[in-house]
Amino acid sequence: MKTVNHNFQRRSPLMACLLAAGLLGNIAFADAADSTGAVGTAIDTSMAAMTKEPMARFNGDGTLMRPTGYREWIYIGSPLTPNDMNNGKAAFPEFHNVYIDPASWAHWKKTGEFRDGTLIVKELLSVATKSSFSGNGYFMGEYQGLEAMVKDPSRFPKADSYWGFFRFTTEDHNRLLKTSKVVPSSACVSCHAPNAQQDMVFVQHYPVLRAAKGRGEAGTGGK
Domain harbouring 152, CATH code:
3.50.70.20
Mean pLDDT of 33-57: 54
Closest CA to 145 of 11, 38, 37, 36: 11
Residues 6+ apart with CB under 8 A from 145: 22, 24, 27, 94, 123, 124, 167, 168, 169, 173, 176
The whole-number pLDDT of residue 30 equals 54
Segment among 83-97, 108-122, 132-146, 170-184 with least mean pLDDT: 83-97
The whole-number pLDDT of residue 64 equals 98
Q: Which amino acid is at 19?
A: L
Q: How far apart are CA 179 and CA 167, in angstroms?
A: 9
Per-residue pLDDT tens digits for 99-116: 999 999 999 999 999 999
The whole-number pLDDT of residue 171 equals 66
Contact 166, 19 (CB under 8 A): no
Q: How far apart are CA 71 and CA 100, in angstroms?
A: 10
Predicted model pTM = 0.76
Q: How far apart are CA 36 and CA 31, in angstroms?
A: 14
Segment among 36-50, 148-162, 163-177 with least mean pLDDT: 36-50
Is the per-residue pLDDT at 72 higher than 50? yes
Closest CA to 93 of 79, 102, 105, 80: 80
Mean pLDDT of 74-88: 83
The whole-number pLDDT of residue 31 equals 57
Range of the domain at 104: 4-220
DSSP for residue 58: B
Domains: count for the chain: 1
Higher pLDDT, 83 or 28: 83
